[in-house]
């Protein structure tokens, strides 16, 4: 027993010593802070192999968590991966470093429609990584009636068979779409307008799940719902009975971007990584694993016809797509409203 304790003490001391060593100045090193399940390990390893720069990879699962950690770690991260509304917010607060496009020649691979985003004109501070939509997925074996939009989904006859993202802002935006209101016009008046609709909808939803609705749709716990296109794409890859439809009332598109925080310790490594990601072969690996909408035109040429034909990954252009903007304080209003409605059960 004594030896066991001694061993533990030694292990502790060694591990603490190790901690000191790692905080000393080293060669180039990339501190990547990205969404979990979004950057394949293969891609990270490939970067190190190609450039010799090792990568420290930390993860987050929400933009807000990312911001919280970013604010308390100045000079720690080289690259972050915010969504479009968060990019807006970060630019507003002066938390981003401009991206030197001359250091990223591969930026030319991006499709023209992604080169001048409304949340960051001219891509001064961000480079698109992957895009996608939030839309309706359904099991066509179980659902025979046509599904064209939110109102087709949220019908009493589908009560207890619906799955929805566990994201208050998302759900509210769907109701705003149905009422024809701009999804970023979140005023108390507009929230009051959609409140009854939301109350009705919430009663019909069986499962709230943002993490992974796939098992529940696949296993038949639910038959239809509103999900991320990447999840729908995976379902479709698995079984063609699953369908994906962009709601006719309006659909939310998101774009995740690579950005360099202010005071990033190694800006060059960050730009090297961005350039590396934009290589078509690398981008293809990401698409293979995470079938979202790839903004890289050169990469799309490397994809298989099945991948490009997947309606969840590459939807037809007919529907009007909106993006989230930073709505600041209105987030709290949404939270309050939804807590009220969801806890009323």
Partner 1 sequence: MTQAVAIQPASNVRRPGWRGSGLFAPMVTWLALFVVAPTAILLVYSFFTGEGIGEVDTHFTLENYRRIFTPVYLDLFWRSILYAGATTILCALIGYPVAWYIGRAPASRRGKLLMLVMIPFMTSFLIRTYAWLIILHEHGLFNGFLEAAHLIPTVFSHPLNILYTPTAVMIALVYTYLPFMILPIYTSVEKLDPSLIEAAADLGAGPTRSFFRVILPLTWPGVAAGILMVFVPAIAMFAVTKIMSGGHIRLIGDEIQEQFEGGGDLPFGSALGMALLILFLVTYWISAGRGAKELRGA
Partner 2 sequence: MAHPLPSGNSLARLILPAWTIAVLVFLYLPIVLLVVYSFNNVPTNMDLSAHWHGFTLRWYRAMWADRTLMGSVQNTLIIASAVTVVSIVLGTGAAWLMHRFVFPAAGGLQTLILLPMIIPEIIMGVSLMLLFRAIGLNRGYLTVIIAHVTFCFPFVMAAVQARLAGIDPALEEAALDLGATPIRAFFSVIVPYLMPAIVAGGLLAFTLSIDEFMVTYFTYDASSMTLPILIYSEARTGLKLTLNAVSTLFTAGTILLVLAMELLRSRR
Provide the binding-site residues for partner 2, judged by CB under 8 A.
Answer: 5, 8-9, 11-12, 15-16, 18-19, 22-23, 31, 36-37, 41, 56-59, 61, 65, 68-69, 72-73, 76, 211-212, 214-219, 221, 234-235, 238
Q: Which does 16 bind (CB under 5 to 8 A by kind): partner 1, partner 2, none?
A: partner 2
- Residue 73 contacts which entry, partner 1, partner 2, none (Cβ below 5-8 A, type-dependent): partner 2
Those residues whose C-beta lies under 8 Å from the C-beta of residue 3, and which sit 6 or more positions away, are none
Alpha carbon separation from 172 to 89, 150, 338, 341 (Å, rounded): 20, 12, 8, 11
As given in the structure block, the two tokens for residue 334 are 């949404």
> Would you count residue 340 as binding partner 1 (CB under 8 A)?
yes
| 283 is a site residue for partner 1 (CB under 8 A) | no
CB-count burial class (<10 Å; 0-12, 13-18, 19+) for 269: buried
Both tokens assigned to 292: 């979202």
CA dist 212 and 228 (Å) reads 9
Among 81, 168, 173, 310, binds partner 1 (CB under 8 A): 168
CB of residue 277 vs partner 1: minimum separation in angstroms? 26
Regarding 334 and contact with partner 1 (CB under 8 A), the answer is: yes
Alpha-helix runs per DSSP H in the chain: 2-22, 41-51, 63-71, 84-92, 150-153, 168-178, 188-204, 214-218, 229-238, 267-277, 280-289, 297-300, 305-309, 330-342
CB of 327 to partner 1, least distance (A): 8
Minimum Å distance from CB 150 to partner 2?
A: 24
Q: Which is nearer to partner 1, 169 or 284 (CB)?
A: 169
Residue 303 Cβ, how far from partner 1 at the closest point, in Å? 32
Least distance from partner 2 to the Cβ atom of residue 37, Å? 5
The residue range among 128-136, 160-168, 180-188, 310-318 that interacts with partner 1, by the rule CB under 8 A, is: 160-168
Q: How far apart are CA 287 and CA 313, in angstroms?
A: 9
d(C-alpha 34, C-alpha 230), whole Å: 17
C-alpha pair distances (Å), 79 with each of 86, 132, 181: 14, 21, 35
Mask of contacts with partner 1, 74-93, x by CB under 8 A?
------------x--x----
Q: Residues 37, 42, 64, 113: which binds partner 1 (CB under 8 A)?
A: 64
Nearest to 106 by CA among 274, 253, 236: 274
| Buried b or exposed e, range 324-334, using 16+ CB within 10 angstroms | bbbbeebeebb
304 binds, among partner 2, partner 1, none (CB under 5 to 8 A by kind): none
Q: Does 187 participate in binding partner 1 (rule CB under 8 A)?
A: no
Q: Is 166 exposed, middle or buried (0-12, 13-18, 19+ CB in 10 A)?
A: middle
27 or 72: CB nearest partner 2: 72
Identify which of residues 74 and 105 has a Cβ nearer to partner 1 in the complex.
Answer: 74
Contact 44, 54 (CB under 8 A): no
Nearer to partner 2, 73 or 268 (CB): 73
With respect to partner 1, which residue has the nearer C-beta, 172 or 298? Answer: 172
Q: Note the residues at the interface with partner 1 (CB under 8 A).
A: 62-65, 67-68, 71, 86, 89, 166-169, 206-209, 215-216, 219-221, 326-329, 331-332, 334-336, 339-340, 342-343, 345
């Amino acid at each position: 027993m004594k030896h066991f304790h001694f061993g533990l003490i030694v292990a502790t001391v060694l591990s603490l010593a190790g901690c000191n060593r790692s905080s000393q100045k080293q060669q180039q090193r990339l501190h990547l802070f990205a969404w979990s399940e979004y950057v394949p390990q293969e891609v990270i390893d490939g970067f190190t192999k190609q450039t010799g720069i090792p990568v420290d990879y930390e993860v987050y699962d929400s933009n807000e968590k990312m911001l919280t950690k970013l604010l308390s770690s100045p000079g720690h991260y080289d690259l972050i991966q915010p969504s479009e509304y968060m990019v807006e917010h970060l630019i507003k607060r002066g938390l981003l470093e401009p991206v030197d496009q001359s250091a990223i020649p591969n930026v030319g691979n991006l499709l023209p429609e992604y080169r001048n985003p409304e949340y960051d004109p001219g891509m001064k501070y961000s480079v698109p990584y992957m895009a996608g939509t939030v839309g309706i997925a359904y099991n066509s074996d179980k659902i025979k009636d046509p599904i064209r939009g939110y109102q087709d989904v949220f019908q009493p006859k589908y009560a207890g068979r619906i799955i929805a993202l566990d994201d208050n802002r998302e759900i509210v935006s769907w109701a705003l779409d149905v009422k024809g209101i701009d999804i970023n016009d979140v005023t108390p008046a507009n929230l009051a307008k959609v409140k009854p609709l939301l109350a009705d909808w919430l009663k019909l939803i069986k499962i709230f799940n943002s993490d992974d609705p796939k098992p529940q749709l696949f296993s038949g716990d639910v038959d239809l719902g509103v999900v991320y296109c990447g999840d729908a794409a995976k379902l479709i890859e698995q079984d063609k009975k699953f369908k994906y439809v962009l709601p006719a009332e309006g659909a939310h598109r998101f774009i995740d971007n690579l950005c360099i925080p202010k005071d990033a310790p190694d800006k060059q490594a960050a730009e090297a990584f961005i350039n590396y990601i934009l290589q078509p072969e690398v981008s293809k690996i990401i698409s293979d694993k995470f079938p979202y909408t790839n903004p890289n035109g050169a990469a799309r040429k490397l994809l298989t016809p099945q991948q490009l034909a997947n309606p969840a990954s590459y939807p037809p252009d007919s529907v009007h797509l909106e993006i989230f903007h930073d709505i600041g304080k209105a987030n709290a209003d949404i939270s309050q409203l939804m807590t009220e409605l969801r806890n009323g059960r």
